[in-house]
Amino acid sequence: QSVVTQPPSVSGTPGQRVTISCFGSSSNIGKNALNWYQQLPGAAPKLVMYRNDQRPLGVPDRFSGSKSGASASLAISGLQSEDEADYYCAVWDDSLDFVVFGGGTKLTVL
Amino acid sequence: EVQLVESGGGLVQPGGSLRLSCSASAFSISNYAMDWVRQAPGKGLEFVAAITENRGSTYYADSVRGRFTISTDNSRNTLYLQMSSLRPDDTALYYCVQDMRNWGQGTLVTVSS
């Protein structure tokens, strides 16, 4: 059981907007900046959001991030089939003294 | 373009040791924190170890602390993970990560008799 939790799966149709949530506590999300990673099937993870809401170069502006208190979310608008992947949040935990990952959310584009 | 190439994975018996390497290019690892993250087959991502950019501190997941050691060789621009007392649940694809941003393709470690 991870200290940071995500829904196991979300789905949407092309063009739709979906949100993936990440719930933590005051020792992790409530205190530190969070990253989001996209992992396509058979590939290494790729950073799609850092410091809660900063998009790396090359990541479409359809991706946006936010954080409030001890929870965070990644939103993907104008959903495309190429967005189908596993998404993970990651954040430093001050109590554990290491990075914790959410369990991952599988995004299915119907 | 940042490139991270892991090597050193393979099949090892329980209780054995292995050293993973991560060769970096297009940047100097001495200027960045570096991390190891693993992924067991069909499972999620798990932090393994990190080393700060000034090499003053290292951090380990509870599951590997005391068995794994992270280190760097700045002259070779290479990150290492020395693994000992390996267990079957250490079986995973091990990724080298630059400052939790850029990822290598991973090297597979299988612990089995």
d(CA B75, CA B66): 26
Q: Give the closest-approach CA distance of B52 to chain A in angstroms.
A: 12
Residues on chain A bordering chain B, Cβ-to-Cβ distance under 8 angstroms: 2, 35, 37, 39, 44-47, 50, 56, 86, 88, 90, 96-104
Specify the residue for token string 């900063």: A54
Q: Write the pLDDT tens digit of every residue in B10-64.
A: 999 999 999 999 999 999 999 999 999 999 999 999 999 999 988 779 999 999 9
Q: Write the pLDDT tens digit of every residue in A46-67.
A: 999 999 999 999 999 999 999 9
Q: Is B27 on the interface with A (CB under 8 A)?
A: no
* pLDDT at residue B89 greater than cutoff 70: yes
* pLDDT at residue A77 greater than cutoff 70: yes
Specify the residue for token string 């509870």: B62
Are the beta carbons of A93 and A28 closer than 8 angstroms?
Answer: yes
pLDDT value, residue B94: 98
Q: Is B65 on the interface with A (CB under 8 A)?
A: no
Residue to mutate among B47, B93, B105, with most A CBs inside 10 A, is B47
Mean pLDDT of chain B: 96
Enumerate the residues of chain B whose CB falls inside 8 A of the CB of residue A103: 44
pLDDT value, residue B80: 98
Q: Cα–Cα distances in Å, from A30 out to A36, A99, B57? A: 16, 14, 23
3-state secondary structure of A6: coil
Which pair of structure tokens corresponds to residue A57? Answer: 């170069």
pLDDT value, residue B112: 97
pLDDT value, residue B21: 98
* pLDDT at residue A1 greater than cutoff 70: no
Which residue does chain A place closest to B101, by CA atoms?
A47
d(CA A51, CA A54): 6
Q: Is B104 on the interface with A (CB under 8 A)?
A: yes
B95 and A98 within 8 Å at the Cβ level: the answer is: no
Overall average pLDDT of the A8-34 stretch: 97
pLDDT value, residue B71: 96
Q: Give the closest-approach CA distance of A16 to chain B in angstroms.
A: 26
Are the beta carbons of B102 and B4 closer than 8 angstroms?
Answer: yes
pLDDT value, residue A24: 97
pLDDT value, residue B56: 79
B47 and A35 within 8 Å at the Cβ level: the answer is: no
Q: Residue A84, exposed/middle/buried by CB under 10 A (0-12, 13-18, 19+)? A: middle
Which pair of structure tokens corresponds to residue B43? Answer: 């499972």
